[in-house]
Amino acid sequence: MKSMRKKIKLPWSVALTVIVKLLLTANLLSAQTPIEPVIAGDFADPSIIRANNQYYAVGTSSEWAPHFPVYTSTNLLNWKQSGYVFDKAPAWTSGSFWAPEYDYHDKTYFIYYTARKKKDNLSCIGVATSKYPDRGFVDQGIIIDYGKEAIDAFVYLDGNQRYITFKAYGLDKRPIEILAYRLSKNGLKVEGKPFSLLKDDERIGLEGQSFLKKDGYYYLFYSAGNCCGAQCDYNVRVARSKSFAGPYEKYEKNPLLMENEYWKCSGHGTFVKATDGEYHYLYHAYNKKTNVFSGRQGMLAQLSWSGKDGWPVLKEQSGPCVNQDLKLLFTQPKADKRWQWDFRNSSPKISQNHGLLHLSGSINKNNLTGIALTIRPVSGVFEASTTVANTNKALKGLVYYGDAGAAVGVGVSGDEVVFWKVENKIKTVLSKSKIQAKGPVELKMKVADDLSLLVFFKQGNHEWKNVPIQEKISVNFLPQWDRSPRVGLHFNGSINQNADFSSFSVKYY
């Protein structure tokens, strides 16, 4: 049977107009589709490795413990936290746990990492080993102690020789540069003298390097600019050389990754060869909307060699758009792996039983805030809630924590709900509200788009009550230079007191 549809002939100019509109609509829709992170929340300086068709990523933890969170994935897009490199800080360290880097040989996994030394607070590079990529790491001590700052290790295998490269700073009057040592066969010592690969002659910053070799060229990928904070201008660049030792020629079309509509300050990544043979680059960037309040998040780009004269190209990829809301009920004997705390200022004790999380511990004498048991937020606009199940004079509740000297929270102490903040190392009680002395108390804090904070409480079947304040409270003082503030549970009391919580949830907007 013949079709009864009638062909419609459009004038050439009208057809062209329709095609142009369709293309513009398609481009507009594409432009309006945001690029999603693959590891949401603060996960800076990521390193990635593939083992038995499973991917593992480890990132900076800075001043949060446990140290160096580890994530796993089967497809590079969906990731789940599996643990940490260190439950306790190695004895020689004082803080600044940055830029961990994977390596594998001789049936051993190595993580080369940056930390500050206790004896002089200078940054240097240590190494830890394990038979597994995501657990069981044992610290092997310092491997590079050089200049005023030795950070951002990367190991490269050239033939049968491994080299460890790093950023060196504070070398007399020389600029920042990328240096390299030969690495011993067991991976635990450096050999000979360091040699220079690339110098920061432009004085714009130089760090976060990684290497690939293709068609006789060594490609040195690196980050330039200011890495951290609201005024960052980080970007990813590349240089190449016929010799690993250089000299390296910088790409005239740098940078490869830079600010776009949704993200800024892209940088510090490493490559992995996927199961399909393609190379992918895991790096970090700030979301332009939530910026330092969600931190440097884990991003993914695919590598191709379609640039001019065979130079590389990095194309940003989007992770899945998933609901990141969190609700924790404390029914298991072990605490959730996502909890972290400021190890410099408190030593929390955490246990779970009978549906309650028990939080207590010791607090350093100069710590005005107390213990903050926190999670990595994926947005700066959220609603957090908890239920305090016990009654005592200790302050127990919710906290939004930047540092021991920059925090704000709402808690229960005896028969009062207390709204408080610590700013510039000064503690202020913003408001108090009377409650019934017995029975669970539900608490809630809400952060809006304008960074204003409201807190609420209720008991039993009563309605939520707003904790009254005289003036608008902003949380813009919370972010620290290299890390985002975090929301979580709070305890401030004596060593023989504790806080009991029956739930914790975060809803993002």
Q: Which positions are catalytic? A: 45, 207
Max CA distance (Å), the chain: 90
Q: Strand 426-434 relative to strand 217-224: parallel, antiparallel, unpaired?
A: unpaired
Measured between its terminal Cα atoms, the distance across the chain in Å is: 56
* 133, 102 Cβ separation under 8 angstroms: yes
Report the distance separating Cα 79 and Cα 77, nearest Å: 6
Strands 67-73 and 79-86: antiparallel
Q: How many CB atoms lie within 10 A of CB 323?
A: 7
Residue 446 burial (CB count, 10 A): 17
One DSSP character per residue, 436-476 reads: -SSS-EEEEEEE-TTSEEEEEEE-TTPPPEEPP-SS-EE-T
Rounded-to-integer distance, Cα 221 and Cα 271, Å = 10
Task: Please say whether the beta carbons of 430 and 420 come within 8 A.
Answer: yes
Question: Phi, psi (5° rounding) for residue 54?
Answer: -115, 145
Give the whole-angstrom CA distance, residue 167 versus residue 177.
6
**How many Cα neighbours within 13 Å face the side chain of 109?**
22
For 5, other C-beta atoms within 10 Å of its C-beta total: 6
